Amino acid sequence: MHPSEHLKGSKGDNLEGKTIVLGITGSIAAVECVKLIRELVREGAEVHCVMSEWATKIVHPYSMEFSSGHEPITEITGQVEHVSFCGKVPDKADLFLVSPATANTISKIAMGIDDTPVTTFATTCIGSNIPMIVVPAMHQSMYEHPIVMDNLKTLHDELDITIVGPNIEEGAAKVARKDEIVDHVVRELHDDLKGKEITVVTGSSVEPIDSMRVITNKATGKTGIELAKRAFRRGANVQLWYGNIKDDIPSWIPHRRFETLDDLIGYSKDLTDIVIVPAALSDFGVEKVSDSKISSDSSLSLKLEPLPKFIDEIRDDVDFLVAFKAEDSQDKAVDKGEQMIEDGRADMVVANSLGDVKHESNKVCILKGGDWIQGDKRYIADKILDEIDKRA
């Protein structure tokens, strides 16, 4: 057994049973392909590589064989490899991913030129209607060449090819992050939530005390981030609104930051049909906020006043509202969550005990009538989305 088999599916089964052909071209970003291949394998994919001649001068084919478990294709032979994988044949590849894609390769694909193994695969793939993703990587000046930009537009608009990235930094159009690429690969091959418009509101809000200090809470926003990422992977059109959080925001998902509850309520005109609110929003604010920093030389008393409930503010404008209810005990969370549904304040409630919450895991109950679900937050996010798919 090849060592790569031990990694297969270790992060999930999103790509189980899927064959992905990775086209590697002569960009220095080819050095990232070992990590990318491994990540696809961890999601369950079978990965085969095809390399241009210039790609083999940057990374050795042995590296691709090591990471994928398959000898890469570096030339088209009498085995007609491009047809075997991407032709109109049984058991053809599920997706052709070109990463990194140089300006040269992008332009050749757009013009139907196939004079390298990678472009020959691309031509065959397009003719067979196999999904394609292209991940550009080059110097910024090359990327901004108007003809290169036109060719990228041709790939996207006329050939229905998904373009991922690039990230413009340090004068370069850098290859997209591997987790961004993998999320787009999964999205291309899963569409059970396609057509659904989802807003996820996560993290904690902050309410000012003075010009320096704020009131907030310990929420991390992790559950909301996982909900947004999993919904994106499953084909939904997602927007992520986030407050004070500790985890990185997936930059490839449209996002908007808020601080106070007033900020958030001000965004509500842009909500979608389905809104999921795992955010820990402030229940109280200071009655009188100081314009300057309050001196710490003496004791201080604050008078707090209740703030509006975000879900009540948006209830009439949302077709399907998912609220979260956390309490000190499971029974209390369930009772209050079910009352929210009975009162019409939410269409679905996810209840949990504060004692069950960990940074990477949780235990929740989807109301009404659901069983308690325990696991990491990716798993829980998928279970919540499964239920939304049934009900919304």
Amino acid, res. 378: R
Instruction: Give strand pairing partners of 376.
Output: 361
The answer to whether 243 and 258 are in contact (CB under 8 A) is yes
Q: How many CA atoms lie within 13 A of 64 on its CB side?
A: 27
The answer to whether 247 and 171 are in contact (CB under 8 A) is no
Instruction: Identify the pLDDT of residue 277.
Output: 96
Domain limits, the chain: 3-189, 197-391
Q: Two tokens at 194?
A: 């396609």
Instruction: Identify the pLDDT of residue 219.
Output: 83
Instruction: Identify the pLDDT of residue 392.
Output: 84
Instruction: Identify the pLDDT of residue 287.
Output: 85
Of the candidates 42, 68, 55, the one whose C-alpha atom is nearest the C-alpha of residue 182 is 42
Name the maximum alpha-carbon separation found in the chain.
86
Fold match, 3-189 / 197-391: yes
Topology (CATH) of 197-391: Rossmann fold (3.40.50)
* Count of helices and strands (H, E) across the chain: 14, 20
Instruction: Identify the pLDDT of residue 294.
Output: 86
- The CATH class given to the 3-189 domain equals alpha beta
Low-confidence ranges of the chain (pLDDT < 70): none
Burial of 213 (0-12, 13-18, 19+ CB in 10 A): middle
